[in-house]
């Protein structure tokens, strides 16, 4: 990774120097060993602080929404899974491709203080969905994190409805509505979220009742359904350790099973499973029939 | 499934598309086909107009069951509305079920303008199901309960 | 707070029998917003309507709720009442307390309670109603017909006959389409050219009809009544205004390798050619792929012989922009290529031909001048096998062809068999069939004639293999009726290949946002009741573009489409339904999700500068064309930010109803 | 000074007749919740995931209710807290945070909802035996070895030393089975704690210049832009913070009336203090600056130098993008005093 | 039970994975069959007889051994019905009922080499076990 970082740094400095890009979106170190933060660098001098490596877990795609409004091109470092988020934003016309220079960054699985990131335990792909150039290594092309991505969902599906209810009430009751999951989510890009909009009829700022706890997460999962790339940032950032990815993965699993394999951000099709249909689709009753046999 | 209050009557919201199911409900009425008064119908232009927010809103406000009726797949007045509705509602129902909320509180039924009898039968069945499930406690907002 | 009036109708005893209308009217008086509430025997009667009008004036009502029968019955009545009394007609809501209450309940207490809830829900909704005004848009009184086959020609003639201008855009150098290639037509055995060419001439001579041949529609935007199309007229390298169609160049042109498309590529043609003698326009065209002059710069022989001076090698494609009020899709069909179905050996054996190729072989203007000769050795075939349903009626998972029945093959095969038996009585004709489908006037009689009068051998079964043995084609198939396998040594095998939409259809469908089925046939607005309209307003369907059909059906549909077009063009203005979607530009993300689910292509995106506190940026936002939107609401649910809402059925209105019902 | 054996602890807590709120396990988190038998007490956890603020100033609380009956409206005010309770095991930094909250809510006009809760609560403080490496309370004048509480506990392995400092505290301790203890032993513990805290990574953080005199200099610093760049605008830091006290008042339409409640707000949110004309902190740069300027400059300049950061280190733990007040202090201040 | 029409039919359908209702009775399979004349029941008859539940008739006919297993009918069937698989399934059912000490899947490997197509091998095994 050190070698990847050095090449990346050299390349970024060169691109800044020749005017191809006006700034570089990457990471810098924090106070300790693990607490890296996303950072913006505008010249070679600032680039001294640039780092890339095991603690560059944050998905920089969402920052691109703001960066895309700036003058000139931005160089952004994207890991394979991050490129899916970026590409999905292109699909949704939220980003203009020509405003970015993308370095696809080889990734050997990201970590934090507690070890490998949850999203990296079930790594989706080492392929870059979109890039201008790739800086990786043989090591980074090898598969990492081979856990079954849907195992957690399948476990919950096996439970009785009451068990699932108890599980989710236990988890969601911890929610403090800090909005970290929403604000970090590259699919949650609404100019104004329905939960912040008094006219939406569902505005709320605190999980006052269990209904509001549920509501926020149901609507959030539903709103990103078909657009969520399963980047796992929601669970990573939750200060209350709520396994939010299990909601998104459930919808992904369902859509894959009912409407065919689909990975948001992959390929060139802008339609998502929820903005397309076939005449032979399953009836909603399939949900009611499950487990009844 | 116990119903604590013997006087409890369920509240059931039926979203009906204007072109098929609402007309089907009218036909049930013209044919004097009985179904319980617990069912109240809201007219929408198409089943694809039914936002999951409306369904959640109904539960929030204490509805015990929500049923969405639309044209049969392929018969949509707007050609494709019910196809989108079918996917959206399947996903919503699945998510609610995943959260442990009784899946039988929600239902989708395709009822054409000619199927008055089917409309009445569907409503009778649905009301019966809701009676057996009892009051909706898992997905209502306690603040909305009339004290 | 608005001032709302509630009017409870007895409907004689229909409502009053099971609903205590007085109690309902009384209860509604306590509802916030309601300033007047009453009941009357028949609200829809003149006296009832007067009661409403008077109350509107007297109490200065902003909106009214009529608790009565289904809105499907009298919503319009009460809207007109309200409008006449000076209210906006969309400030009226109906509580359906008859069909959905009094008629289905027996218990009066129960019925009354429910009626109150329904009326409260209507009031709750009405409190969020906004006055709506139906918009109008002007209609451009010109029609575009895409495709110049019999469907397009017929539509154009009918529309022109009503006095409207029509442009026919045809991709080939001449109009006429598939029908021009046919020899005879079933079941009357009319000569196809004899009945088609007069229509072509009529179209050419009609001053309201403008034929734009050798052209394609490149772009269409706009909406019903106001389409704008960009048409690319390909360079013919021949000046249409000068060419006399003399054909003097024919023998001079050194290039002879062009495939004669009109004759199903069974013979060659020069680089400069007129597709067939009766072509309209009867103007030559130079095939740029074959022309020596265009490829090498040296030649120019045709220019030398052209006395009219019509040849112009420098001609460029021409782009023209035209405005239309209506567009008719008449893009027609082509037979599928049967090569992948290798058991028939179409690719290997020249004597395995398609039915359309047979049409050309039997036609006097065809490659054999109308004598039936088989392609390999130009000998007269004595034993001919016809195979039905080639590539039709296949399971989609087999990739062996189309899932649908191509509809016309049974009849034209009977026609071919009959014509061959009639002209060459020494020829044996066998037809392998699965079913013989003859639902049409005089169709079954025609088929029976082929069997009974002309002795065509119909074998119920399918062919498993066609293999060449010497100069024969060994056809092995099953005869299900006699339960045996048969083998026939044939001289010629004719495949009734499935027909599929013309390859241009898909891109045209996308351009028009007209929906298509999985087979690329255009879908109709309603399968039974609106069969010649696309769900996209202002787009009409004519001919096989919508689904397989024969000539009379095509002509019938073409005229039906014309009637619809005339109905549209006859209007000076279109009144639009005000209950349409609208996007709140300040909330819109421009994510294009709504556009994906809109069945009408009513949504477009524009870049707009947004200014607000601390914000000044250009955003991509959705705009709904109210003239195109039909108000289904699919977009409103897809929109994650809630920017898209549906007038008349807004989120707030529906949620207010939900609230009222659940309390 | 009194003491009791370590195994007496849960018995003592259970014996308290009023509700006791204590740090307990909730899944993988440690939060202040009403203690009941069977719960896992986590007095060892420094920097609990949620703070005692949850008890005194809960995330949401009802203020009043408007009830609609036909066309009449009836107003009912929510009752103030009237039940005594104990918050058990509160660290020095969190107690300092309560003092910050007091400055806000008990100053005129007094917040009667908060005041009632404050009045009915007895706080049992807990000296910090083992600091976390994100702790930096001493920089803000907090002594982790001597929480300013009604009762204070010192951990000493096999026993707990305890001392009541107020009447409330003495009343609470009255029934505890304690025995007299040696003051000197506690002094030793305090000294050990002091040594540990002086060795922490952020112990030498320099707060010079964070005062009213340097307000504009800090406010106008060009560094805010870069510092705030990674900020998501979520509320993790504010909700984990023991001193953040901003709230919003909202109405919930119950269908038959309005439930008016207040809930925590966050200055990181784009709709924080949103007004009809919009907001005067239009981008995250201003919002981010506001939070730290408030804690380090505005608050002390109005409150006799009292910072509204207590150095608990929770924002360091919770920020998804690893931003925190230490980075701000280092960037805008003079860094570590020994630099 | 073991020989009920329902059991036999369901077993054949399960083994073969074929849905005979998809058949449009075009006779393509029988037109294709290279060993048609030798067979008492022809491929298309297998489809309709299985649909009608006449499994026993088929089991007792030599036709099940005469199928070459060339799968031409499966390849050519326009409706994706796969009559050849039905023949195979009936034959397999017959073998099961005879309770012969059939060779298991593991034994097949011994017969297989790279030249002999799998289908032929299976068909041959079926035939010579008669």
Query: So where are chain C's domains?
Result: 4-126, 142-229+321-332+504-569, 248-305, 334-500, 581-647
Pairing of strands A37-41, C484-490: unpaired
C–A contact: 3+ Cβ pairs < 8 A: yes
Alpha helices in C176-271 (DSSP H): 192-205
Q: How high is the pLDDT of residue E2?
A: 59
Contact yes or no for B53 and C651 at CB 8 A: yes
- Least Cα separation, residue D262 to chain A (angstroms): 9
Question: What does the pLDDT look like over D233-289, one tens digit per residue?
Answer: 999 999 999 999 999 999 999 988 999 999 999 999 999 998 888 888 989 999 999
Token digits of residue D212:
């009213």
d(CA E113, CA E115): 6
Report the percent of chain C where pLDDT is more than 90. 88
C530 pLDDT higher than 90: no
A–B contact: 3+ Cβ pairs < 8 A: yes
Token digits of residue C195:
């009945």
Residues of D with CB under 8 A from a CB of A: 26-29, 49-50, 59-60, 133, 201-202, 226, 229-230, 232-236, 238-240, 248, 250, 252, 261, 263-266, 269-271, 316, 318, 320-324, 326-327
Contact yes or no for B60 and A211 at CB 8 A: yes
Residue of D253, D254, D260, D261 to mutate, testing the B interface (most B Cβ within 10 Å of its Cβ): D254
Within a domain: residue B145? no
C228 pLDDT higher than 90: yes
> Is C461 part of the contact surface with chain E (CB cutoff 8 Å)?
yes
Report the percent of chain E where pLDDT is more than 90. 51
Q: How high is the pLDDT of residue E119?
A: 62
Which residues on chain D are in Cβ contact (under 8 Å) with C659?
Answer: 253, 255
Token digits of residue C408:
């016309």
Number of CB atoms found within 10 A of residue C567's CB: 11
Pairing of strands D159-164, D2-5: antiparallel
E108 pLDDT higher than 80: no
> Is A219 part of the contact surface with chain C (CB cutoff 8 Å)?
no
Within a domain: residue D337? no
Question: What does the pLDDT look like over B96-139, one tens digit per residue?
Answer: 999 999 999 999 999 998 899 999 999 999 999 999 999 999 99
Number of CB atoms found within 10 A of residue C166's CB: 29
Q: How high is the pLDDT of residue A174?
A: 93
At D105 the three-state DSSP class reads helix
Fold classification of C581-647 (topology level): Alpha-Beta Plaits (3.30.70)
- Least Cα separation, residue B147 to chain D (angstroms): 10
At A217 the three-state DSSP class reads helix
Residue whose entry in the numeric block shows the structure tokens 């997905």: B139
C426 pLDDT higher than 90: yes
Q: How high is the pLDDT of residue E111?
A: 56
Number of CB atoms found within 10 A of residue D318's CB: 24
C590 backbone φψ class: left, alpha, beta (φ>0; ψ -120 to 50): left
Task: Give the residue numbers spanning the domain of B26.
Answer: 12-139
d(CA B33, CA C355): 57
d(CA C66, CA C36): 12
Contact yes or no for C465 and E37 at CB 8 A: no
Q: How high is the pLDDT of residue D172?
A: 95
Number of CB atoms found within 10 A of residue B31's CB: 15
Burial class (CB in 10 A: 0-12, 13-18, 19+), D24: buried
Total count of domains within chain B = 1
D–B contact: 3+ Cβ pairs < 8 A: yes
At A182 the three-state DSSP class reads helix
3-state helix, strand, coil in chain A (%, to 5): 40, 10, 45
Q: How high is the pLDDT of residue C411?
A: 97
The candidate with the shortest Cα–Cα distance to A88, out of A254, A275, A289, is A275
Within a domain: residue B5? no
- Least Cα separation, residue B27 to chain A (angstroms): 25
Give the confidence band of E94 by pLDDT, cuts at 50, 70, 90. Answer: confident
d(CA D306, CA D103): 10
- Least Cα separation, residue C596 to chain D (angstroms): 30
The CATH code of the domain at C4-126 is 3.40.50
| Number of cross-chain residue pairs from C and D with Cβ atoms under 8 Å apart | 23
| Residue A33 dihedral angles phi and psi, to the nearest 5° | -85, -30
Can you say how many angstroms the Cα of residue E58 is from the centroid of all Cα atoms in its chain? 10
Fold classification of C334-500 (topology level): FAD/NAD(P)-binding domain (3.50.50)
Token digits of residue D22:
């204590």
Q: What is the CATH number of the domain that holds B49?
A: 3.40.50
| Number of cross-chain residue pairs from B and D with Cβ atoms under 8 Å apart | 9
Which residues on chain D are in Cβ contact (under 8 Å) with A208?
Answer: 60, 252, 261, 263
Which residues on chain A are in Cβ contact (under 8 Å) with C590?
Answer: 93-94
Within a domain: residue D286? yes
> Is D271 part of the contact surface with chain C (CB cutoff 8 Å)?
no
Report the length, in residues, of chain E: 130
Q: How high is the pLDDT of residue C221?
A: 84
Mean pLDDT along residues D25-48: 91
Contact yes or no for C395 and E27 at CB 8 A: no
DSSP state of B48: G
Does D323 sit behind a cis peptide bond, omega within 30 degrees of 0 on the bond before it?
Answer: no
Average pLDDT over chain D, rounded to an integer = 92
| Residue C460 dihedral angles phi and psi, to the nearest 5° | -80, 110
Q: What angle do CA A27, A33, A39 make, to 5 degrees?
A: 15
- Least Cα separation, residue B41 to chain A (angstroms): 20
Which residues on chain A are in Cβ contact (under 8 Å) with C638?
Answer: 274-275
Distance in Å from the first CA to the final CA of chain D: 41
D338 pLDDT higher than 50: no
Contact yes or no for D235 and A171 at CB 8 A: no
Token digits of residue D259:
């439930």
d(CA D64, CA C82): 41
Total count of domains within chain E = 1
d(CA D155, CA D168): 21
Contact call for residues A60 and A33 (beta carbons, < 8 A)? no
Provide the angle, in degrees to the nearest 10, between the axes of the packed helices C21-29 and C108-126.
Answer: 40
State the Cα torsion D124-D128-D129-D131 to the nearest 10°: 150
Alpha helices in chain D (DSSP H): 9-15, 53-56, 92-105, 112-120, 167-173, 183-198, 215-219, 223-228, 236-240, 284-293, 299-302, 314-318, 325-332
Half-sphere exposure of C325 (CA within 13 A, CB side): 23
**ipTM value of the model?**
0.84
* Greatest alpha-carbon span in chain C: 100
Q: How far is CA A165 from CA A157, B136, C186, in A?
A: 11, 13, 68
Q: Facing residues of B49 across strands?
A: none
Task: Give the strands of the sheet with C215-223, arranged side by side.
Answer: C215-223, C226-233, C318-324
DSSP state of C522: B
- Least Cα separation, residue C551 to chain E (angstroms): 27
> Is C464 part of the contact surface with chain E (CB cutoff 8 Å)?
yes
Question: What does the pLDDT look like over B8-65, one tens digit per residue?
Answer: 999 999 999 998 899 999 999 999 999 999 999 999 999 999 999 999 999 999 999 9
Q: How far is CA D77 from CA A235, D61, D74, D171, D258, in A?
A: 39, 12, 10, 32, 12
Least CB-CB distance to C105: which of B26, B37, B62?
B37
Residue of B43, B144, B146 to mutate, testing the C interface (most C Cβ within 10 Å of its Cβ): B43
Query: C158-167, C249-258, C282-291: which range is least confident on average?
Result: C249-258
Residue B108's closest chain A neighbor by CA?
Answer: A284
Q: How far is CA A194 from CA A199, C128, C498, C613, E109, in A?
A: 8, 19, 52, 20, 63
Q: How high is the pLDDT of residue D339?
A: 42
Helices and strands, counts by H and E, chain C: 17, 34
Question: What does the pLDDT look like over E28-58, one tens digit per residue?
Answer: 999 999 999 999 999 999 999 999 999 999 9
Residue C128's closest chain A neighbor by CA?
Answer: A199
Residue of C31, C32, C587 to mutate, testing the D interface (most D Cβ within 10 Å of its Cβ): C32
Question: What does the pLDDT look like over C325-375, one tens digit per residue?
Answer: 999 999 999 999 999 999 999 999 999 999 999 999 999 999 999 999 999
Alpha helices in D106-175 (DSSP H): 112-120, 167-173
Burial class (CB in 10 A: 0-12, 13-18, 19+), C321: exposed
C601 pLDDT higher than 90: no
C589 pLDDT higher than 70: yes
d(CA C451, CA C132): 66
Within a domain: residue B56? yes
Full DSSP string of C598-654:
-TT--EEEEEEEEEETTEEEEEEEEEE-TTT-----HHHHH-SSS-EEETTS-HHHH
Pairing of strands C318-324, C226-233: antiparallel
Q: How high is the pLDDT of residue A201?
A: 86
d(CA E122, CA E119): 5
CATH superfamily of C142-229+321-332+504-569: FAD/NAD(P)-binding domain (3.50.50.60)
E100 pLDDT higher than 60: no
Mean pLDDT along residues C59-63: 96
Contact call for residues C519 and C502 (beta carbons, < 8 A)? no
Give the confidence band of D71 by pLDDT, cuts at 50, 70, 90. Answer: confident
Number of CB atoms found within 10 A of residue A101's CB: 19
Q: Which residues make Cβ contacts (< 8 Å) with residue B9, sequence separation at least 6?
A: B38
Least CB-CB distance to C613: which of D253, D256, D279?
D279
Contact call for residues C474 and C344 (beta carbons, < 8 A)? no
Within a domain: residue D26? yes
Contact call for residues A39 and A28 (beta carbons, < 8 A)? yes
Q: How high is the pLDDT of residue C628?
A: 85
Least CB-CB distance to A93: which of C587, C591, C642?
C591
Number of CB atoms found within 10 A of residue C317's CB: 11
E107 pLDDT higher than 70: no
Report the length, in residues, of chain C: 663
Least CB-CB distance to E30: which of C389, C401, C478?
C478
d(CA C413, CA C407): 11
Q: Do domains C142-229+321-332+504-569 and C581-647 have the same CATH topology?
A: no
Question: What does the pLDDT look like over D192-249, one tens digit per residue?
Answer: 999 999 999 888 888 888 888 888 999 999 999 999 999 999 999 999 999 999 999 9
Mean pLDDT along residues C589-597: 94
Can you say how many angstroms the Cα of residue A269 is from the centroid of all Cα atoms in its chain? 19
Which residues on chain B are in Cβ contact (under 8 Å) with D255?
Answer: 61, 144
Q: What is the pLDDT along chain A (293 residues), one digit of tens a residue?
A: 889 999 999 999 999 999 999 999 999 998 888 899 999 999 999 999 999 999 999 999 999 999 999 999 999 999 999 999 999 999 999 999 999 999 999 999 999 988 899 889 999 889 999 999 999 999 999 888 778 999 999 999 999 999 999 999 999 999 999 999 999 999 999 999 999 998 888 888 999 999 999 999 999 999 999 999 999 999 999 999 999 999 999 999 999 999 999 999 998 888 999 999 998 999 999 998 886 64
Give the confidence band of E129 by pLDDT, cuts at 50, 70, 90. Answer: very low
Q: How high is the pLDDT of residue C653?
A: 96
Provide the angle, in degrees to the nearest 10, between the axes of the packed helices E43-52 and E5-16.
Answer: 130
Contact yes or no for C596 and A270 at CB 8 A: yes
d(CA C207, CA C196): 19
Which residues on chain D are in Cβ contact (under 8 Å) with C30?
Answer: 70-71
Q: How high is the pLDDT of residue E130?
A: 38
Least CB-CB distance to C464: which of E25, E28, E79?
E28
Residue of C522, C541, C632 to mutate, testing the B interface (most B Cβ within 10 Å of its Cβ): C632
Q: How far is CA C425 from CA C381, C419, C492, in A?
A: 11, 10, 16
Chains that touch C (3 or more CB pairs under 8 A): A, B, D, E
> Is C96 part of the contact surface with chain B (CB cutoff 8 Å)?
yes
Q: How far is CA B106 from CA B82, B130, B132, C660, in A?
A: 16, 9, 14, 19
Query: B69-78, C159-168, C353-362, E40-49: which range is least confident on average?
Result: B69-78
Q: What is the CATH number of the domain that holds E85?
A: 1.10.1060
Q: How high is the pLDDT of residue C54?
A: 97
Q: How high is the pLDDT of residue B5?
A: 74
Residue of D67, D255, D285, D287 to mutate, testing the C interface (most C Cβ within 10 Å of its Cβ): D255
Is the model's pTM score more than 0.80?
A: no
Average pLDDT over chain C, rounded to an integer = 94
Total count of domains within chain D = 1
């Amino acid at each position: 990774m050190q070698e990847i970082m050095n090449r990346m740094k050299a390349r970024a400095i060169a691109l800044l120097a020749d005017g191809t890009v006006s700034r570089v979106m990457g990471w810098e170190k924090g106070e300790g060993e693990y607490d890296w933060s996303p950072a913006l660098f505008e010249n070679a001098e600032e680039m001294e602080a640039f780092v890339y490596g095991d603690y560059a877990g944050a998905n920089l795609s969402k920052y691109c929404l703001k960066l895309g409004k700036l003058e000139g091109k931005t160089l952004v470092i994207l890991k394979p899974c991050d490129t899916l988020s970026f590409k999905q934003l292109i699909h949704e016309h939220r980003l203009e491709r020509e405003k970015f220079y993308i370095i696809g960054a080889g990734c050997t699985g990201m970590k934090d203080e507690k070890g490998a990131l949850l999203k990296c335990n079930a790594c989706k792909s080492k392929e870059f969905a979109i890039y201008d150039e790739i800086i990786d290594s043989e090591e980074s092309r090898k598969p990492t994190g081979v856990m079954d991505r849907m195992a957690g969902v399948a476990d919950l599906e096996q439970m009785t409805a009451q068990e699932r209810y108890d599980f989710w009430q236990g988890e969601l009751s911890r929610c403090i509505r800090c909005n970290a999951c929403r604000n970090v989510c590259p699919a949650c890009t609404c100019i104004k979220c329905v939960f912040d909009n008094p006219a939406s009829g569902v505005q709320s700022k605190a999980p006052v009742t269990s209904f509001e706890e549920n509501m926020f997460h149901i609507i959030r999962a539903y709103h990103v359904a078909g657009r969520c790339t399963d980047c796992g940032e929601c669970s990573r950032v939750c200060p209350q350790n709520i396994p939010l990815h299990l909601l998104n993965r459930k919808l992904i699993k369902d859509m894959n099973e009912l409407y065919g394999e689909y990975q948001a951000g992959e390929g060139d099709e802008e339609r998502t499973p929820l903005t397309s249909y076939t005449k032979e689709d399953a009836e909603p009753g399939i949900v009611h029939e499950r487990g009844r046999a | 499934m116990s119903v604590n209050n013997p006087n409890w009557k369920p509240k059931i919201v039926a979203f009906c598309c204007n072109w098929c199911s609402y007309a089907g409900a009218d036909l049930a009425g013209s044919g004097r086909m009985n179904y319980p008064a617990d069912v109240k119908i809201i007219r929408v232009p198409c089943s694809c107009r039914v936002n999951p927010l409306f369904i959640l809103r109904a539960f929030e406000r204490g509805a015990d069951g929500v049923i969405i009726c639309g044209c049969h797949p392929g018969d949509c007045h707007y050609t494709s509305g019910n196809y989108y509705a079918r996917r959206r509602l399947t996903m919503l129902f699945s998510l609610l079920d995943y959260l442990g909320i009784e899946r039988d509180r929600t239902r989708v039924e395709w009822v054409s303008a000619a199927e008055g009898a089917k409309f009445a039968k569907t409503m009778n069945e649905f009301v019966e199901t809701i009676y057996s499930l009892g009051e909706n406690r898992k997905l209502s907002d306690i603040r909305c309960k009339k004290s | 707070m608005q001032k709302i009036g509630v009017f409870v109708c007895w409907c004689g005893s229909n409502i009053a029998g099971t609903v205590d209308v007085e109690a309902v009217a009384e209860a509604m008086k306590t509802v916030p917003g309601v300033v007047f509430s009453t009941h009357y025997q028949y609200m829809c009667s003149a006296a009832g309507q007067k009661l409403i009008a008077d109350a509107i004036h007297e109490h200065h009502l902003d909106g009214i709720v009529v608790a009565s029968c289904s809105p499907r019955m009298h919503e319009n009545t009460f809207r007109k009442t309200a409008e006449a009394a000076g209210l906006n007609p969309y400030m009226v809501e109906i509580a359906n307390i008859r069909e959905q209450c009094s008629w289905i309940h027996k218990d009066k207490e129960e019925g009354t309670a429910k009626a109150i809830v329904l009326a409260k829900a209507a009031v709750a909704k009405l409190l969020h109603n906004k006055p709506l005004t139906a918009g109008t848009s002007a209609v451009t009184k010109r029609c575009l017909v895409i495709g110049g086959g019999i469907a397009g020609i017929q539509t154009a003639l009918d529309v022109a006959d009503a006095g409207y201008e029509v442009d026919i855009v045809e991709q080939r150098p001449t109009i006429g389409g598939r029908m021009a290639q046919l020899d005879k037509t079933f079941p009357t055995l009319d000569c196809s050219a004899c009945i088609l060419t007069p229509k072509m001439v009529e179209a050419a001579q009609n001053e309201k009809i403008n034929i734009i041949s050798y052209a394609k529609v490149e772009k269409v935007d706009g909406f019903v009544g106001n389409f704008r199309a960009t048409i690319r007229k390909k360079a013919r390298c021949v000046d249409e205004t000068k060419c006399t169609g003399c054909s003097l160049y024919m023998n001079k042109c050194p290039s002879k390798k062009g495939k004669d498309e009109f004759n199903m590529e069974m013979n060659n043609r020069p680089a400069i050619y007129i597709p067939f003698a009766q072509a309209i326009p009867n103007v030559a065209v130079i095939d740029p792929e074959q022309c020596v002059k265009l490829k090498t710069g040296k030649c120019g022989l045709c220019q030398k012989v052209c006395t009219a001076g019509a040849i112009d090698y420098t001609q460029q494609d021409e782009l023209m922009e035209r405005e239309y009020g209506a567009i008719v899709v008449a893009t027609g069909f082509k037979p599928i290529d049967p090569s992948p179905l290798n058991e028939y050996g179409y690719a290997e054996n020249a004597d395995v031909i398609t039915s359309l190729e047979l049409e050309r072989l039997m036609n006097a203007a065809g490659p054999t001048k109308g004598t039936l000769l088989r392609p390999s050795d130009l000998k007269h075939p004595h034993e001919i096998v016809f195979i039905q349903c080639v590539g039709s009626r296949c399971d989609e998972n087999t990739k062996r062809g189309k899932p649908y029945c191509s509809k016309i093959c049974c009849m034209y095969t009977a026609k071919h068999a009959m014509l061959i038996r009639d002209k060459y009585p020494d020829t044996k004709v066998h037809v392998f069939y699965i079913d013989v489908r003859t639902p049409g006037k005089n169709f079954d009689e025609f088929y029976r004639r082929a069997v009974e009068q002309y002795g065509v051998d119909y074998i119920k079964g399918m062919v498993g293999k066609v293999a060449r043995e010497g100069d024969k084609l060994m056809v092995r198939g099953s005869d299900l009726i006699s339960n045996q396998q048969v083998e026939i040594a044939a001289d010629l095998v004719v495949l009734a290949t499935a027909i599929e939409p013309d390859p241009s259809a898909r891109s045209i469908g996308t351009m028009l946002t007209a929906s298509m089925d999985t087979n690329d046939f255009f879908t109709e607005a309603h399968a039974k009741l609106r069969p010649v309209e696309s769900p996209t307003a202002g787009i009409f369907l004519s001919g096989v573009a919508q689904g397989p059909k024969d000539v009379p059906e095509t002509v019938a549909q073409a005229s039906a489409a014309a009637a619809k077009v005339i109905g549209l063009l006859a209007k000076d203005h279109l009144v639009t339904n005000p209950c349409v979607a609208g996007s709140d530009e300040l909330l819109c993300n421009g994510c294009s999700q709504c556009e994906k689910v809109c069945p009408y292509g009513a949504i477009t995106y524009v870049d707009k500068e947004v200014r607000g506190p601390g914000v000044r940026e250009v955003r991509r936002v959705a705009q709904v064309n109210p003239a195109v939107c039909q108000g289904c609401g699919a977009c409103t649910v897809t929109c994650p930010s809630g920017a898209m809402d549906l007038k008349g059925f807004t989120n707030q209105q529906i949620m207010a109803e939900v609230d009222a019902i659940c309390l | 000074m009194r003491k009791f054996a370590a195994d007496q602890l849960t018995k003592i807590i259970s014996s308290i007749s009023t509700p006791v709120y204590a740090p307990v396990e909730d899944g993988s988190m440690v939060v202040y919740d009403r203690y009941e038998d069977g719960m896992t007490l986590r007095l060892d956890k420094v920097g609990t995931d949620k703070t005692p603020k949850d008890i005194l100033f809960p995330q949401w609380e009802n203020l009043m209710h408007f009830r609609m009956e036909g066309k009449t409206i009836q107003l009912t005010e929510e009752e103030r807290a009237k039940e005594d309770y104990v918050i058990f095991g509160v660290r020095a930094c969190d107690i300092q945070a309560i003092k910050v909250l007091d400055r806000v809510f008990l100053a005129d006009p007094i917040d009667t909802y908060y005041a009632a809760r404050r009045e009915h609560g007895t706080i049992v403080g807990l000296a910090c035996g083992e600091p976390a490496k994100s702790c930096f309370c001493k920089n803000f004048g907090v002594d982790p070895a001597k929480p300013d509480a009604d009762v204070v506990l010192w951990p000493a392995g096999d026993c707990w030393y305890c001392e009541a400092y107020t009447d409330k505290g003495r009343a609470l301790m009255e029934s505890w089975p304690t025995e007299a203890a040696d003051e000197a032993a506690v002094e030793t513990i305090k000294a050990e704690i002091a040594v540990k805290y002086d060795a922490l990574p952020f112990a030498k953080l320099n707060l010079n210049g964070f005062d009213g005199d340097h307000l504009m200099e800090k406010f106008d610093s060009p560094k805010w832009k870069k510092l705030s760049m990674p900020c998501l605008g979520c509320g993790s830091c504010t909700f984990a913070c023991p001193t953040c006290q901003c709230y919003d008042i909202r109405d919930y339409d119950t269908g038959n009336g309005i439930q008016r409640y207040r809930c925590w707000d966050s200055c990181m949110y784009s709709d924080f203090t949103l007004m009809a004309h919009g907001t005067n902190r239009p981008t995250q740069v201003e919002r981010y600056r506001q939070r730290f300027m408030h804690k380090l400059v505005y608050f002390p300049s109005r409150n006799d130098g009292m910072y509204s950061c207590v150095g608990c280190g929770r924002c360091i733990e919770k920020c998804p993008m690893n931003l925190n007040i230490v980075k701000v202090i280092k960037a805008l201040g003079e860094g570590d005093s020994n630099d | 039970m073991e020989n009920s029409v329902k059991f036999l039919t369901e077993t054949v359908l399960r083994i073969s994975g074929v849905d005979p209702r998809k058949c449009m009775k075009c006779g393509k399979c029988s037109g294709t069959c290279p060993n048609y004349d030798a067979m008492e029941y022809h491929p298309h008859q297998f489809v309709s007889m299985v649909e009608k539940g006449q499994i026993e008739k088929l089991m007792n006919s030599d036709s099940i051994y005469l199928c070459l297993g060339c799968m031409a009918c499966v390849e050519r069937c326009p409706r994706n019905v796969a009559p050849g698989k039905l023949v195979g399934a009936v034959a397999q059912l017959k073998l099961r009922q005879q309770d012969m000490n059939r060779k298991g899947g593991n034994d097949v490997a011994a017969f297989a080499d790279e030249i002999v197509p799998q289908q032929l091998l299976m068909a041959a095994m079926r035939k010579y076990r008669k």
